[in-house]
């Protein structure tokens, strides 16, 4: 595959976002070219950390600082990158190939000062933001999508056993529920659906996960919708919720929960401001559309990678493909010939210990799921497409109870 345009002037390569995606791109470029100017602009400190650790760290008594593998400053120095930390990109002008920047620190005296910076090649690696439904006001609830916010929550939880409600039993919600339980907290996990992971797996599979989660001691409330959260005078939070008649036919009338903290894990969305300004093909739910073999967006000289990007209408929100995607971007921006990135959906593995859940392919809740193996210890199901080909497989293993 030949590169789009190998000419790179002094503006060099600009990367927006210092998460795993942005840093992978830097590593991949530096593996091929030690000198080309790279600027990394990020609204946080740019510190390098492994985000999947955020759902394992509390039970391991790890603070945010413990999870930082290198500070942004040190990592930038080691990779010969100009780091603009605590800086937000607010606009992209694709005609002049310039970005508009603002300080991301509201307390900063230059908060209102704008600056501009040019790019030859631009990589959008700006991640996705947690969705906060109206009933979960951002100022009352936590999220674990960023190390900074995680760190504040971890500090609160380190003071002793507390009651935490987690809203949303997708992978992140289900993992953090177990992690908090292991750390000695009381955990209530609430989801609209009758079982965890119901948005990606069929009921027969999710029923096993619900069973494992409950038998572990997590109070799983399936088929309930949080209707309001209120701060009480003693600082605790009142979580009001109601049964969804369509899912939960046996629900008893319910008293509001009184908890110390609420964590929202209700999905991610991609901010539309920069994609719109850049004129790239974009869907708010799934992200910036890229051409899979090159990771190019629909706008010249702009690439996308990580949580903000989607391939074939499917968001790409896992760590495993980042290295190969970043290598392709590196070759393409440097004007090197390459074979093209070949996208394979990554293997998805739930990090919970109470049950082992492994998924390959592109799973979805509905569709022609067929049982391949079924026993008390194991369930294997295939999702068949219209041509009867396997498009996803889920393997669930329950830990065998130890013999006494
Ligand atoms: C709790 C948790 C557990 C996970 N566990 C797993 C797992 O086990 N396995 C797995 O494969 N995946 C897992 N994931 C998903 C994986 O971690 C993410 O897909 C990946 O880390 C996303 O990296 P990113 O760089 O695209 O986004 P982010 O880490 O969100 O980084 C985005 C960066 O962009 C910056 N930014 C955003 N907007 C702007 C702007 N306008 N201007 C400047 N900077 C901006 C932000 O400050 C940030 O630095 C997990 C995710 C979470 C939240």
Judge whether 305 lies within some domain. yes
Mean pLDDT, consecutive 10-residue stretches, the chain (404 aa), reads 47 97 98 98 98 98 98 98 96 96 75 82 97 95 97 97 98 98 98 97 98 97 95 97 80 85 97 98 95 98 98 93 98 97 95 97 96 97 97 91 54
Judge whether 2 lies within some domain. no
CATH number at 234 reads 3.50.50.60
Instruction: Decide which of 333, 356, 383 is a domain's last residue.
Output: 333
The pLDDT score that the predictor gives to residue 104 is 86
Order across the sheet with 261-264: list the strands.
219-222, 186-191, 163-167, 261-264
From the CB of 43, is ligand 1 less than 6 Å away? yes
Judge whether 8 lies within some domain. no
Cα-to-centroid distance, 307 and ligand 1 (Å): 6
Nearest Cα neighbor of 135 from 227, 236, 230 is 227
- β-partners of residue 379 are 374, 396
Judge whether 281 lies within some domain. yes
Shared-domain flag, residues 155 and 211 = yes
Retrieve residue 58's tokens. Answer: 């509390």
d(CA 4, CA 329): 11
Count of beta carbons in the 10 Å neighbourhood of residue 348: 19
Look at ligand 1, atom 4, and give the residue with the nearest C-alpha.
Answer: 52
Shared-domain flag, residues 138 and 250 = yes
Shared-domain flag, residues 182 and 238 = yes
pTM of the model: 0.94
Is the CA virtual torsion 53, 57, 62, 65 positive or negative? positive
Look at ligand 1, atom 2, and give the residue with the nearest C-alpha.
Answer: 52
- The H or E element that residue 39 is part of is strand 38-41
Strand ranges (E), 96-223? 98-103, 115-118, 121-124, 129-130, 163-167, 186-191, 219-222
From the CB of 22, is ligand 1 less than 6 Å away? yes
Decide: 348 and 358 in contact? Cβ < 8 Å: yes
Instruction: Decide which of 229, 264, 299 is a domain's last residue.
Output: 264
Q: Could you tell me the end-to-end alpha-carbon distance of the chain, in angstroms, rounded to an integer?
A: 60
The pLDDT score that the predictor gives to residue 8 is 40
Ligand 1 pocket: which of 166, 319, 347, 349 to mutate (most atoms within 8 A of CB): 319
Nearest Cα neighbor of 40 from 78, 93, 1, 5 is 78
From the CB of 265, is ligand 1 less than 6 Å away? no
The pLDDT score that the predictor gives to residue 112 is 59
Shared-domain flag, residues 45 and 110 = yes
Shared-domain flag, residues 217 and 199 = yes
d(CA 209, CA 352): 10
d(CA 27, CA 115): 27
| Chain centroid to CA 216 | 25
Strand ranges (E), 75-120? 82-84, 87-93, 98-103, 115-118
In terms of residue numbers, what domain contains 183? 131-264
Instruction: Identify the residue whose tokens are 């990135």.
Output: 341
The pLDDT score that the predictor gives to residue 7 is 41
Cα-to-centroid distance, 326 and ligand 1 (Å): 15
Look at ligand 1, atom 41, and give the residue with the nearest C-alpha.
Answer: 89
The pLDDT score that the predictor gives to residue 400 is 63
d(CA 105, CA 84): 12
Judge whether 362 lies within some domain. yes
Look at ligand 1, atom 26, and give the residue with the nearest C-alpha.
Answer: 306
Instruction: Decide which of 246, 264, 282 is a domain's last residue.
Output: 264
Cα-to-centroid distance, 240 and ligand 1 (Å): 30
Domain count, the chain: 3
Look at ligand 1, atom 29, and give the residue with the nearest C-alpha.
Answer: 19
**Beta strands 356-361; 368-374: pairing state:** unpaired
Shared-domain flag, residues 31 and 115 = yes
Shared-domain flag, residues 193 and 257 = yes
d(CA 163, CA 383): 38
The pLDDT score that the predictor gives to residue 244 is 87
List, in order, residues 6 or more apart from 146 with CB less than 8 Å away: 44
From the CB of 334, is ligand 1 less than 6 Å away? no
Cα-to-centroid distance, 355 and ligand 1 (Å): 25
From the CB of 275, is ligand 1 less than 6 Å away? no
From the CB of 357, is ligand 1 less than 6 Å away? no
CATH number at 379 reads 3.30.390.120
List, in order, residues 6 or more apart from 158 with CB less than 8 Å away: 61, 63
CA triplet 50, 56, 57: central angle to 5 degrees?
A: 80
**Beta strands 98-103; 237-243: pairing state:** unpaired
**Beta strands 121-124; 302-304: pairing state:** parallel
Cα-to-centroid distance, 374 and ligand 1 (Å): 36
Decide: 267 and 168 in contact? Cβ < 8 Å: yes
């Amino acid at each position: 595959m030949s590169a789009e345009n190998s000419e790179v002037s002094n503006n060099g390569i600009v990367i927006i976002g210092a998460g795993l995606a942005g840093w992978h791109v830097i590593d991949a470029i530096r593996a091929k070219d030690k000198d080309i100017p790279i600027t990394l602009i990020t609204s946080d400190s740019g510190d390098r950390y492994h985000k999947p650790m955020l759902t394992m760290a509390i039970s391991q008594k790890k603070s945010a600082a413990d999870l930082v593998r290198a500070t942004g400053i040190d990592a930038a120095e080691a990779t010969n990158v100009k780091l603009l930390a605590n800086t937000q990109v607010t606009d992209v002008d694709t005609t002049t190939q310039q970005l508009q920047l603002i300080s991301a620190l509201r307390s900063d005296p230059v908060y209102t000062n704008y600056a501009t910076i040019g790019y030859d090649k631009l990589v959008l690696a700006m991640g996705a933001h947690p969705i906060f439904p109206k009933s979960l006001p951002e100022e009352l609830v936590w999220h674990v999508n960023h190390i900074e916010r995680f760190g504040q929550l971890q500090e609160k939880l380190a003071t002793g056993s507390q009651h935490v409600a987690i809203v949303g039993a997708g992978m992140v919600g289900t993992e953090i529920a177990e992690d908090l339980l292991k750390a000695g907290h009381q955990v209530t996990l609430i989801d609209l659906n009758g079982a965890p992971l119901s948005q990606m797996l069929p009921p027969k599979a999710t029923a096993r996960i619900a069973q494992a989660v409950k038998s572990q001691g997590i109070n799983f409330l399936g088929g309930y919708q949080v209707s309001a959260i209120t701060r009480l005078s003693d600082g605790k939070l009142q979580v009001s919720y109601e049964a969804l008649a369509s899912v939960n036919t046996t629900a008893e009338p319910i008293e509001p929960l009184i908890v110390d903290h609420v964590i929202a894990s209700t999905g991610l969305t991609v901010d539309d401001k920069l994609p719109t300004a850049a004129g790239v093909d974009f869907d708010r739910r799934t992200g910036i559309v890229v051409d899979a073999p090159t990771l190019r967006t629909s706008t010249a000289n702009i690439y996308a990678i990580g949580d903000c990007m989607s391939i074939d209408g499917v968001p790409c929100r896992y760590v495993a493909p980042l290295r190969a995607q970043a290598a392709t971007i590196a070759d393409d921006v440097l004007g090197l010939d390459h074979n093209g990135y070949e996208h394979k959906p990554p293997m998805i593995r739930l990090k919970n210990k109470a049950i082992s859940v492994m998924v390959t392919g592109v799973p979805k809740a509905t569709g022609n799921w067929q049982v391949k193996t079924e026993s008390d210890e194991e369930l294997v199901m295939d999702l068949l497409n219209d041509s009867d080909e396997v498009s996803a497989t889920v393997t669930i293993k329950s830990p065998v109870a130890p013999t006494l």
